[in-house]
């Protein structure tokens, strides 16, 4: 890295300011830098998941144990969480999810298109407040606003990180 502050750096700093101590994630190239920052932060515990819905349960458990958590996932994983999203909604528990988008800007993998095009709608229908991040300079303020909504209002909030921001992955047929 050339020393420049990137959007993952801004998000990591903001998660620290919000008091996030547990970071649940499914490995994802779009979140690589943020995951590395969280793994190296002694104030955060980064927890790899086998599937995204485990992260919803982890966030609920963290809240019940007096800690704050964030769930990092890709848009394709949102479909895996639909049933579990009832937990924070019905039990009035916060959920802060940061979702890297696929199936948008210049997507080359046809398998990413259906979920990528419906992610925001699926989340809204499940009762999740959706915010969007497309400008790197707004990463900190966007995550801060979403985190404050989630943790103070005890509601599920997702920030969709646009594919134009994370970049287009190559796909070969």
96: closest CA among 66, 48, 130?
130
Asked if 165 contacts 104 with a C-beta cutoff of 8 angstroms, the reply is no
* Inside any domain, residue 91: yes
pTM of the model: 0.93
State yes or no: pLDDT of 169 exceeds 80: no
* Inside any domain, residue 1: no
- Which stretch of DSSP H or E encloses residue 36? helix 32-39
Q: Into how many domains does the chain fold?
A: 1
CATH code (residue 90): 3.40.50.970
State yes or no: pLDDT of 173 exceeds 60: no
State yes or no: pLDDT of 1 exceeds 50: no
State yes or no: pLDDT of 161 exceeds 50: yes
102: closest CA among 111, 93, 91, 90?
111
* Inside any domain, residue 171: no
- Beta pairing partners, 39: none
State yes or no: pLDDT of 122 exceeds 70: yes
Find the domain containing 23 and state its range.
7-163
How many beta carbons lie within 10 A of that of residue 41, not counting itself?
16
* Inside any domain, residue 85: yes
Calculate the alpha carbon distances from 137 to 4, 10, 121 in Å: 12, 8, 26
* Inside any domain, residue 103: yes
């Amino acid at each position: 890295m050339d020393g420049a502050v990137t959007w993952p750096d801004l998000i990591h700093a903001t998660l620290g300011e919000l008091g996030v101590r547990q970071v649940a994630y499914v490995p994802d190239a779009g979140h690589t830098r943020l995951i590395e920052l969280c793994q190296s932060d002694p104030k955060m515990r980064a927890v790899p998941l086998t599937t995204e819905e485990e992260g919803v349960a982890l966030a609920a458990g963290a809240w019940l144990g007096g800690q704050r958590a964030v769930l990092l996932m890709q848009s394709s994983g949102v479909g895996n969480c639909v049933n579990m999203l009832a937990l924070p909604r019905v039990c009035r528990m916060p959920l802060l999810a940061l979702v890297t988008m696929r199936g948008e800007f210049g997507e080359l993998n046809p398998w990413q298109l259906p979920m990528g095009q419906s992610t925001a709608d699926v989340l809204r229908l499940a009762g999740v407040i959706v915010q969007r991040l497309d400008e790197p300079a707004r990463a900190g303020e966007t995550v801060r606003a979403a985190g404050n909504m989630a943790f103070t209002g005890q509601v599920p909030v997702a920030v969709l990180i646009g594919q134009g921001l994370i970049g287009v992955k190559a796909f070969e047929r």
